[in-house]
Structure 1
Amino acid sequence: MVNNIEMEEVKKPLSMNPKKFILWLLIVSIMMFFVALTSAYIVKQSDGNWLEYDMPMIFWYSTIIILLSSATMHWAYLAAKKDNLPQLKLALSITTVLGLSFLYSQWAGWGQLVDMGVYLVGNQTSGSFFYIITGAHGLHIISGVLFLIIVLISTYQYKVHSKEMNQLEICMTFWHFLGVLWVYLFLFLLLNQ
Structure 2
Amino acid sequence: MALLAELGKKSWLTPDSQGAQALSSLEALEGARKTALLFLLAVITVLFFLFSITYVSRSQYPDFQGLAAEPWMPLAQSWRLWLNTAFLVLASSGLELAKRVNLPAQYGKLFLLWGGVILCSLAFIVGQLALWQLLKQQGFLIASNPANSYFYLLTGIHGLHLLAGVLVLGRGLYLLSRQASTETIGQSLQLCAWYWHYLLLLWLYLFALLSAPAEAYDTIAAWCGL
TM range (shorter): 0.7 to 0.9
Structure 2 counterparts to residues 69-148 of structure 1, below 5 A: 69-79=91-101, 83-122=105-144, 124-148=145-169
- TM-score w.r.t. the length of structure 2 is 0.73
The answer on whether the counterparts of 1:120 and 1:127 sit within 8 Å (CA) in structure 2 is yes
Displacement, 1:69?
A: 0.9
What residue in structure 2 maps to residue 35 of structure 1? 49
1:16/1:87 Cα in 2 relative to 1: closer, same or farther (>3 Å)? closer
Helix, strand or coil: the match of 2:33? helix
Per-residue displacement from partner, 1:14-50 (whole Å, max 9, x unpaired)? 8971011000000010011111111111000012221
Residues of 2 paired with 1:19 and 1:83: CA distance? 26
CA distance in 1, matches of 2:125, 2:38: 24
> 1:184 is matched by which residue type in structure 2?
Y
Instruction: Determine whether 1:59 maps to 2:90.
Output: no
SS at match of 1:50: coil
Counterparts of 1:146 and 1:130, CA distance in 2: 24
Shift in Å at residue 158 of structure 1? 1.3
Q: Distance in 2 between matches of 1:112 and 1:73?
A: 31
Distance 1:163 1:117, change over 3 A: closer
Equivalences for 1:4-23 in 2 at 5 Å?
17-23=31-37
Match of 1:158 among 179, 188, 191: 179
Structure 1 gap segments, 5+ residues each = 1-12
Change (3 A) 1:83 1:186: farther
Q: Deviations over 1:47-74 (max 9, x none)?
A: 2221243315322210111011111111
Contact map agreement 2:101 2:110 (CA 8 A) in 1: yes
Q: 1:157 to 1:49 in 2, by over 3 A?
A: same
SS, match of residue 46 in structure 1: coil
Cα deviation for residue 85 of structure 1 reads 1.2
Q: Kindly tell me: are residues 65 and 47 of structure 1, through their superposed partners in 2, closer, same or farther at Cα, counting changes over 3 Å?
A: same
**What residue ranges of structure 2 are gaps of 5+ in the alignment?**
1-26, 67-72, 215-226
Instruction: Determine the structure 2 residue equivalent to 1:167.
Output: 188
Q: Report the Cα offset of residue 163 of structure 1.
A: 7.3
Match among 39, 43, 46 for residue 25 of structure 1: 39
What count of residue pairs does the alignment treat as equivalent?
A: 180
Partner SS for 1:51: coil
Percent sequence identity is 25
| TM-fit CA distance, 1:116 | 2.1
Q: Measure, in 1, the Cα distance between the counterparts of 2:143 and 2:51.
A: 17
* Map of 1:178 onto structure 2: 199
Q: Deviations over 1:156-192 (max 9, x none)?
A: 1112526751122111111111111111111111115
Q: Which has the larger radius of gyration?
A: 2
Residue by residue over 1:55-99, the C-alpha shift from the partner in whole angstroms, topping out at 9 and shown as x without a partner, is 153222101110111111111111156752111101000000001
